Amino acid sequence: MNKLSDRLNSLSSSATLAMSQKSGELKAQGVDVINLSVGEPDFNTPDHIKEAAKKAIDENYSKYSPVPGYPALRKAIVGKLKKENGLDYTITQISCSNGAKQCVCNAVLALVNPGDEVVIPAPYWVSYPEMVKLANGKPVFVSAGIDQNFKITPAQLEAVITPKTRAFILCSPSNPTGSVYNKEELAGLANVLIKHPDVIVIADEIYEHINYIGKHYSLAQYPGMKERTVIINGVSKAYAMTGWRIGFMAGPEWIIKGCNKLQGQYTSGPCSVSQKAAEAAYTTSQVEVGKMCKAFERRRDLIVKLAKDVPGFEVNIPEGAFYLFPKCCSYFGKSVNDCTITSAEDLAMFLLNDAHVACVGGTSFGDPECIRMSYATSDENIVEAIRRIKVSLAKLK
Ligand code: PMP
Ligand code: GLU
């Protein structure tokens, strides 16, 4: 009777969304919660993008679009990839979906057969392993701790590739660590991948524009790699458009065609009005993007400075995205009243209940010793959140 499929029963819920929901519920009860759990810009979508959407409504962009998105949007994305990344694509090599999340899932479902292995550097974004599991594939993790700035080495990658490896998912700038692979580090990974032509790279570059170390590099830019790399990107983070749900993938036509077939059966093209807004985002002034990145960088500096001062926290310096991923396992085994902290999840729950600050435990990101904090919030919230965290942590003995 009330029995879900085995596929669903083996799937974990999204820890980021779950924590954000918990924090919302507490807020609704009148508790003054500072939400550092979900990763989304606190800025509003720039006005000129909103205007483009209003115009699209008036111009009756209200019908189904082509499955991979309107040609005009895909043309705008081709232009972005040429101008910003120096990469040549045609519009038939672009497919737009309901956010970058659906793009990653489409790529995984289009490529992975039951039993295929997908290499995922850990820490990872919570949804990658679950998407691989949906495809009945096997996630293979390569761990990089805070001591190596959460970045894997070429030797580590080489060591896990087997004849069963179908794909490699790289997220740079990274959620949840903020680490960014620079030009030389990517070259090292490309040198390994080039020896394994059957491995497809899924390069999640959704945080491309939130990068504090300079130019963004993509694995698709290295010799021989574009032919087997799927770039994932979208408007959610760069343009503060998380709710509009537009992401894109750019890659070899055979993969794009496969994803379009899949998407044609279960969602069709993404929202017509949002597509027109995204087209405006890619074809108009990029000034706002730079301004938002500067604000995130200032907040990064602030939260790093404050978090370094929290006893028992070990902190890296994130180079992009808007997350801090402090190691906090020195609190494991400590207690207050009848509450004992045995994991990062316990610590996150304690901080939510005691400090009214919502963070996410690191286990579902593949590092059970850390917690993730999103600093895409105001300076005041950052200062107050860390103050409260310090007060609460001091109670643990
Ligand atoms: N990839 C990563 C690494 C992310 O953090 C997110 C944020 N949700 C996504 C993909 C999905 O983005 P979108 O909102 O466009 O679906
Ligand atoms: N990417 C964001 C996060 O990691 C949004 C939530 C989600 O889609 O997981 O918090």
The tens digit of pLDDT for each residue in 227-277 reads 999 999 999 999 999 999 999 999 999 999 999 999 999 999 999 999 999
**How far apart are the C-alpha atoms of 295 and 311, rounded to whole Å?**
27
Residues in the chain: 397
Q: Is residue 310 part of a domain?
A: yes
Query: When comparing pLDDT for 91 and 338, which is higher?
Result: 91
What is the 3 state secondary structure string of 254-277? HHHHHHHHHHHHHCCCCCHHHHHH
3-state helix, strand, coil in the chain (%, to 5): 45, 15, 40
The residue whose C-alpha atom lies closest to atom 5 belonging to ligand 2 is 39
Q: Is residue 1 part of a domain?
A: no
Instruction: Give the DSSP H/E element, type plus range, for residue 73.
Output: helix 71-85
Q: Is residue 80 part of a domain?
A: yes
User: Once rounded to an integer, what is the mean pLDDT over residues 68-88?
Assistant: 98
Pocket mutation for ligand 2, best pick of 126, 359, 377 (most atoms within 8 Å of C-beta): 126
Out of 283, 299, 333, a domain closes at: 283
Looking at residue 214, its pLDDT comes to 86
| CATH number of the domain that residue 168 is part of | 3.40.640.10
Beta bridge partners of 247: 97, 234
Determine the distance separating the centroid of ligand 1 and the alpha carbon of 234, expressed in angstroms: 8
Looking at residue 292, its pLDDT comes to 96
Looking at residue 188, its pLDDT comes to 98
Lining ligand 1 with CB less than 6 A are: 39, 99-101, 125, 171, 175, 204, 206, 234, 236, 242, 247
Same domain, residue pair 57 and 160: yes
Q: How far is CA 339 from CA 23, 153, 313, 328, in A?
A: 20, 39, 20, 17
Same domain, residue pair 116 and 40: no
Same domain, residue pair 275 and 216: yes
Same domain, residue pair 172 and 233: yes
Out of 250, 283, 316, a domain closes at: 283
Same domain, residue pair 153 and 268: yes
The confidence band for 13, taking pLDDT boundaries of 50, 70 and 90, is confident
Same domain, residue pair 17 and 102: no
Q: Residue 259 in contact with residue 249, Cβ under 8 Å?
A: yes
Looking at residue 25, its pLDDT comes to 92
Query: Which range of residues forms the domain containing residue 368?
Result: 6-44+288-393
Same domain, residue pair 311 and 168: no
The number of distinct structural domains making up the chain is 2
Same domain, residue pair 72 and 11: no
- Residue 305: count of CB within 10 angstroms of its CB: 12
Residue 45 reports pLDDT greater than 90: yes
| CATH number of the domain that residue 356 is part of | 3.90.1150.10
Same domain, residue pair 263 and 377: no
Q: Where are the alpha helices (DSSP H) in 182-308?
A: 183-193, 253-266, 272-283, 287-308
Same domain, residue pair 236 and 292: no
b/e per residue, 63-90, with b = 16+ CB within 10 A?
eebbbbbbeebbbbbbebbeebbebebe
Pocket mutation for ligand 1, best pick of 126, 175, 246 (most atoms within 8 Å of C-beta): 175
Q: Could you tell me the two tokens for 244?
A: 């509009």
Residue 29 reports pLDDT greater than 90: yes
Out of 236, 264, 283, a domain closes at: 283
Ligand nearest to C-alpha 237: 1
Residue 18 reports pLDDT greater than 90: no
Q: Is residue 364 part of a domain?
A: yes
Residue 124 reports pLDDT greater than 90: yes
User: Once rounded to an integer, what is the mean pLDDT over residues 340-348?
Assistant: 95
User: Once rounded to an integer, what is the mean pLDDT over residues 213-222?
Assistant: 95
The confidence band for 15, taking pLDDT boundaries of 50, 70 and 90, is confident
Q: Could you tell me the two tokens for 275?
A: 């597509």
Same domain, residue pair 339 and 232: no
Ligand 1 atom closest to Cα of residue 171: 3
Residue 222 reports pLDDT greater than 90: yes
Average pLDDT, the chain: 97
- Does residue 39's CB lie within 6 angstroms of at least one atom of ligand 2? yes
pLDDT (tens digit, 9 = 90+) per residue, 286-340? 999 999 999 999 999 999 999 999 999 999 999 999 999 999 999 999 999 989 9
Handedness of CA 291, 296, 302, 305 (dihedral sign): negative
What is the 3 state secondary structure string of 328-358? CHHHCCCEECCEECCCHHHHHHHHHHHHCEE
Using alpha carbons, select from 63, 55, 101, 84 the residue that is nearest to residue 279: 55
Instruction: Give the DSSP H/E element, type plus range, for residue 374.
Output: strand 371-374
Same domain, residue pair 145 and 243: yes
Q: Is residue 361 part of a domain?
A: yes
- Does residue 18's CB lie within 6 angstroms of at least one atom of ligand 2? no
Instruction: Report residue 74: phi and psi, to 5°.
Output: -65, -35
Beta bridge partners of 360: 372
